[in-house]
Structure 1
């Protein structure tokens, strides 16, 4: 399938099939991916035009379509998601959003801790997130880290999290019918494919469009493709279905060195595109944004844009 659908053909599909299967496919309603005009890389370039690193960061990072993350820093969440998807729709492009506000977020690693204060708060937040998108086309990556490590969680916390994720998927299905939701499934270095398949099933992936892999990590596209296929094999054998998956390729250009937190010497990967071994290859974690106070980002906080890290990531050193 190509994202480059002729406008006339799209209009015909809309006219002939209002509210039918086509309407649930956001790629048929758009022509390519949306470039965030206010990404952290773009904001840094705009403020530092005289910096010698700015041209490379503009060309190789800021100009690439990537996800915008939404959490408890986003203000009125329905207003925020509505404005972002509205701008993308006006441009005829497909936006990628990340919902990152689950209670006890990043509970085991702690670098990106936080999230909604309670289950009730999260239910309200995610409902407003979906309502803000409405009928506009979008892709949503749902709660990175949420299923990758349950080792420090109690059974009650796990049960609550699964219920919240299942509810979130249902909210998108009813309130944002032209959104493809990918429930995050960690990466190949975290859990076995069989274990992840069990986690996904328990969290309601059957109701989502698919699952996402390698968010904020560095493992190669080939490693993730093998893992995604193995997860699907496990889902097929135990639950009778498979799901499309997407891979975060923003920082996997030369693979992993075994570290996950601001690893040195990593390189940007294949730019956002349709296909490439998965349903989509997406830049979900923005290159140059810190993973936390660790590695080559020592002294920074998670999400802070580090121009020197970004610049080195372009060239792989």
Structure 2
């Protein structure tokens, strides 16, 4: 028996308004999706192409340096003015301190350094120097309270991340780890440094924590102090010889010792004032010193590069005739550069 055809179900008509609304939602979703994917691709591209510092890396010669300020003022005798002018052109790490670059101003400072880096086709190198109980009450005493320090380093990190197109080298709190045992503040400093690393880290940002120098702590002792900070492997490595005068070869050997003990960590070495080598046990404004090899001159599989970290011509403190720590000292600048002029 033949079946009668099944009656057709009436087609529901979709209101035109719903069709238009659906199309709008789809377009918006596509645009948002493209934006998200684009952001992910951009971040991935930046991460893949971010390269650590190496031989040949040029950092900014900052026009806000004290050498540049002295050069513009023209004060001093002929040798002192010539020294300031020469030093003002040398790529040198800029020191961020809460005294000169407080929480509400540090963003602008970094933004200006980033603009200079773009103009000079260079990288930024900054030393972050505002740790609570900084320098344990010695020549560079000061620093922020713990709450303000967290806010300050977060602001620094935000500003550095905003300059995502620029390579950033961060020397985090020189002397902080090497001094920690004598200051009796290992656990406190570990907490401050861990928080600072998390606040500052970002794409194309290479953080080096304090590694002292070859004539301070034996490598095994220094490695233990670094491990106690709990910042590895969230940093690139250690900064050696900052504000000191040790021979470059000795610092390279020390960097390799630390790397072996710390599982392959890297290093940068300060050569700003080691051209005449150390002056025995004297570290505070010793006489007869010279500027060292320009940054970007040396490196190997462990030492990424040498840098000028301590600005030549700035005092170590009120010792051997010097002014307060960090102040421009024309006589010292002239002495350090006597073979460059």
The answer to whether TM tops 0.5 is yes
In 2, the alpha carbon distance for the partners of 1:164 and 1:50 equals 41
> Is 2:162 the partner of 1:138?
no
* Structure 1 pair 31–112 and aligned structure 2 pair: CA distance change class (3 A): closer
The CA deviation string for residues 233-289 of structure 1, in whole angstroms up to 9 with x for no partner, is: 221xxxxx2111011100000111121100111111001115345311111111110
Give the equivalent residue in structure 2 for 1:72. Answer: 98
Q: Provide runs of 4+ in structure 1 moved above 4 Å.
A: 14-17
The CA deviation string for residues 83-142 of structure 1, in whole angstroms up to 9 with x for no partner, is: 22233234321011000001000006x10000012x222111111111111124211100
In 2, the alpha carbon distance for the partners of 1:132 and 1:16 equals 17
Q: Is there any run of 5+ residues in structure 2 with no aligned partner, and where?
A: 1-40
Aligned counterpart in structure 1 of residue 143 of structure 2, from 115, 118, 124: 115
The number of residues matched between the two structures is 287
Give the equivalent residue in structure 2 for 1:20. Answer: 47
Would you say the 8 A contact 2:58–2:91 is kept in 1?
no
Would you say the 8 A contact 2:92–2:125 is kept in 1?
yes
**More off after superposition, 254-263 vs 161-170:** 161-170
Give the equivalent residue in structure 2 for 1:271. Answer: 294
1:301 offset after TM fit, Å? 0.4
Matches within 5 A, 1:197-276: 197-203=223-229, 204-235=231-262, 241-258=263-280, 259-273=282-296, 275-276=298-299
In 2, the alpha carbon distance for the partners of 1:153 and 1:180 equals 27
Would you say the 8 A contact 2:297–2:305 is kept in 1?
yes
TM-score by length of 1: 0.84
Larger of the two Rg values belongs to structure = 2
> Is 2:134 the partner of 1:105?
yes
The CA deviation string for residues 157-193 of structure 1, in whole angstroms up to 9 with x for no partner, is: 32121121122222222xx321111111111121110
Would you say the 8 A contact 2:208–2:239 is kept in 1?
yes
In 1, the alpha carbon distance for the partners of 2:108 and 2:43 equals 32
1:25 offset after TM fit, Å? 2.2
Give the equivalent residue in structure 2 for 1:81. Answer: 110
Aligned counterpart in structure 1 of residue 153 of structure 2, from 126, 142, 149: 126
Q: Give the secondary structure class of the aligned counterpart of 1:65.
A: coil
* Structure 1 pair 82–312 and aligned structure 2 pair: CA distance change class (3 A): same
In 1, the alpha carbon distance for the partners of 2:43 and 2:131 equals 39
Give the equivalent residue in structure 2 for 1:4. Answer: none
In 1, the alpha carbon distance for the partners of 2:160 and 2:43 equals 24
Would you say the 8 A contact 2:57–2:305 is kept in 1?
no
Q: Give the secondary structure class of the aligned counterpart of 1:197.
A: helix
Would you say the 8 A contact 2:296–2:307 is kept in 1?
yes
Would you say the 8 A contact 2:92–2:311 is kept in 1?
yes
TM-score by length of 2: 0.78
Aligned counterpart in structure 2 of residue 95 of structure 1, from 97, 102, 124: 124
Give the equivalent residue in structure 2 for 1:191. Answer: 217
